[in-house]
Amino acid sequence: MKAFAYDLKPLSGFRAWPRASTLWGHLAWAIRELKGEHTLSDWIDAHRSAINTRSNPPVKLSSAFPKNTLPRPMLPPVLVADTVVRKQLKAIRWLPIEIFEHVAVGGEAKLVELIEAGNLPPVSSVAEQTASRTRVAMDRRTGAAAKGLLFEEVLYWYSGTLTIYAQTSDVTPPEQLAELIDYVGSNGYAGGSSVGNGHFKLVEGPREVRLPGATSGTHYMLLGPGLLPENPSGWWRTETYWGRMGNVFALASTPFKKPYLRLIEGSVLQDLNPTLLDVTPPTEPESDVRIWENLNPLALPVEVHSGRE
């Protein structure tokens, strides 16, 4: 599958790993700030129309991954007798892109085979570290520091390079998407951007790449958060999400989006459920404003095998 890659260099700590749905929301705010409310409304309407007609939207994103890697797909497990191999298999989170294609076709059995033969190369050198810092809570009535109220903020720090993959259209061409991503990095991604969190710079991109996958795939692996179809078939993991609204809406009287259950990256489904989900809280941040969560990420075809052959 052809796509464009955008390489990011983290410049600060993150409260969370950059995810496709939240990145899409940041792009929406960037469009509003740079081109106006009308352009943003047209952009969102184009996404909604594309989902309804199962056509290509203005942009379809992946979450950020260590450069030259993809998430390990959630596939039917195989029986592994060797304890050492079993532990190595369990520890794998990312797969080098050149290995992913073999696993997308051969399943878990192929991954075990590569481990047993010592042919699984090391993944990207991106290191994830956790650090915390003490901060002073704010008094929302005065805007000043709240006396005697301290809290611990946990941040994730990444060395190396992260990559976002995207498919674009004439509505959002690859060069324009690069400008928007760079704008997001300058202003900060997700929580705590106003105090220096979530900052990154675009170091390369767009560069055209071919993402691997099974040519005769029976299922699809999600590269970003998605939504379960009505009668799901596959292998997946879910998370409950209730993120805070972004930009000026973060200070609304009800600042959190409506909670929902979603799939995480690496989930494998026979049928996809692309959705622009309305997560507007019970109290709208502004009159007639709706909050949308884009759950239409990039997905790669994989071939599912039931057990080791």
For 36-71, how does the pLDDT look when each residue is reduced to its tens digit (9 = 90+)? 999 999 999 999 999 999 999 999 999 999 999 999
For the whole model, what pTM was predicted? 0.91
| 53 vs 202: CA distance, rounded Å | 33
The residue that leads in pLDDT, 152 or 191, is 191
pLDDT at position 140: 64
- Mean pLDDT, range 150-164, rounded to an integer: 85
The token duo for 54 is 């199962």
pLDDT at position 306: 61
List the domain boundaries for the chain.
2-219
Mean pLDDT, the chain, rounded, equals 91
Spatial contact of 146 and 41, defined as CB atoms under 8 Å apart: no
Res. 224: pLDDT tops 50: yes
Res. 135: pLDDT tops 80: no
% of the chain beyond a pLDDT of 90? 73
How sure is the predictor about 228, in pLDDT bands with cuts at 50, 70 and 90? Answer: very high
**SS3 of residue 277 by DSSP:** strand
What pLDDT, in 10s, does the model give residues 234-287? 999 999 999 889 888 988 889 999 999 999 999 999 999 999 999 999 999 999
Q: By CB neighbour count within 10 A (0-12 exposed, 13-18 middle, 19+ buried), where does 247 fall?
A: middle
Q: What is the 3-state secondary structure (H, E, C) of 192-261?
A: CHHHCCCCEEEEEEEEEEECCCCCCCCEEEECCCECCCCCCCEECCEEEECCECCHHHHHCCCCECCCEE
How sure is the predictor about 127, in pLDDT bands with cuts at 50, 70 and 90? Answer: low
